[in-house]
Amino acid sequence: MNRTTEKLHDIGQSIWLDNITHRLLASGTLLSYIRELSVTGLTSNPTIFDHAIKNSNDYDDVIRRKLDEGKSGEVLFFELALEDLRQAADLFRPVYDQTDGVDGWVSLEVSPLLAHNTAGTLAAARALHNLAARPNLFIKIPGTSEGLPAIEEAIFAGIPVNVTLLFSSEQYGAAAEAYLCGIERRIAAGLNPDVGSVASLFVSRWDVAVAEKVPESLRNQLGIAIAREAYVRYRALLDSPRWQRILNEGARPQRLLWASTGTKDPNASDILYVEALALPSTVNTMPEATLKALAAHEELGQASPSNPGEILAEFAKAGIDTNAVAAQLLGDGVLSFAKSWRDLLDCIASKSQVLKAA
C-alpha cells in the first residue's frame, strides 16, 4: 500500500477516482489502484466516456452489439456505461460491505439536459437506479433549483444520490436540506432511513474563474477557502439536533465530496487541493493524473487553516463577489455538462455510422 495515499485514509478521507473506462477495468489498473493506492470508489461523467469512445476502439464491440439490438443514442450510451460501472461496482463491493455502505461507491449521471427539469430528472434517476441493479451505485443529480426537489424525492424513494455541480456553502446547505427532508419523510413513513448520498463541491474552477482578476498573492486560494467554508457548515450541520435525530434513527451522514481537484495552474503544486483539503469524513475524487501525482509524493503537507473567513475577506477587498461567481460557475457548469453530453452523443452516432459501414 502506498504510504502517502494511505495517510489520507488514516486521516479519515476517502480517495475516489474520477475516471472509468473499459481499458481501466480490462487491464487490471482499477484493481491495482484499489489494492495499492487506497482507492475506495469512483465517479464518471460524459466527457470521460466521450474521450474513451472517440480515442480508442475499446467500445466498438459493445456498440456493434447494441446496434444489432436496435439501440441508439442515450439508450445505447447508458447501457454501455452501465456495463463498465457494474463491473466497477462489483470490484468495490467488498469495500462497500466492509464499511457497511459508507464507502465503495460508483456514480452515474442523469442526462445533463435535464438540469432544469425536475420531473424528467426524477424519472431518469428511477430508471437508471433500477437498470443499474447495484446497491453501491449513486445517481448523480445536479444541485440546481430544479434538481433539489428531485434529490429529495429520489432520497425518499430510496435512490442513492451524488449531488453534483455544487459551488458554494449555500448550495451545499440546500443540497443537505434536500437530503435531510427526504430522510425525514422516510422515517415518518416507517421506511429504512439508511440511504447513501454525497454532496460534490467543485473546487478548482473557482481559481480558474478569478485567476486574472486577483493579485498574485491570492492566486489558487479561493477554491480552497470556499471548500473550507462549506466544511465548517458541514460539520455544524452534522452536530445539529435535527441531524442527530435522523442519525439516531439509523440514517447516515451525507458526506461532503471534493470534486474538480486536479491542479489547473502549471506553476502550483500538482496536489495543491489534495493537501489543502485532507479533512476527516470527506471524499476527494481525483483525476487519474492527480492520483498518480499524490502516490509519487513521499510526504503529504498539512491541510489549510480551519477558518476561511480571513481569506474570503481578502477576496472581497479585491473586488470578488463570491455569490456572483458561484452563480456564474453553476450556470457555466450546466452549459458545459450539456455540451459534453451532446458531444458524447455525436461521438456515439459517428462511431455507429463507421461501424455500420464496416
Known catalytic residue: 66? no
Q: For residue 331, how many other CB atoms are within 10 A of its CB? A: 11
- Would you call 27 exposed, middle or buried from its count of C-beta atoms within 10 A (0-12, 13-18, 19+)? exposed
* All cell numbers assigned to 286: 481525483
Task: Look at residue 273 and give its three-state secondary structure.
Answer: helix
Q: What angle do CA 265, 262, 89 make, to 5 degrees?
A: 170
What angle (nearest 5°) sits at the alpha carbon of residue 209, between those of residues 50 and 291?
50
**What are 34's three cell numbers?**
484499489
Between strands 137-142 and 13-17, the pairing is unpaired
Looking at the DSSP bridge assignments, the partners of residue 90 are: none
Q: With beta carbons less than 8 A apart as the criterion, state whether 286 and 17 touch.
A: yes
SS3 for 42? strand
Q: Distance (Å, rounded) from C-alpha 121 to C-alpha 127? A: 10
Round to the nearest angstrom and report the end-to-end CA distance of the chain. 46
| Cα distances (Å, whole numbers) of residue 59 to 45, 65, 117, 297, 302 | 16, 10, 30, 34, 42
Taking the C-alpha atoms of residue 10 and residue 56, their distance in angstroms, rounded to an integer, is 37
Q: What is the DSSP string of 236-257?
A: HHHTSHHHHHHHHTT----EEE
**Active-site hit among 7, 54, 140, 264:** 140
Output the furthest CA–CA distance in the chain (Å, rounded). Answer: 63
- Do residues 162 and 197 make contact, with C-beta atoms less than 8 angstroms apart? yes
**Where in the sequence numbering do the catalytic residues fall?**
140
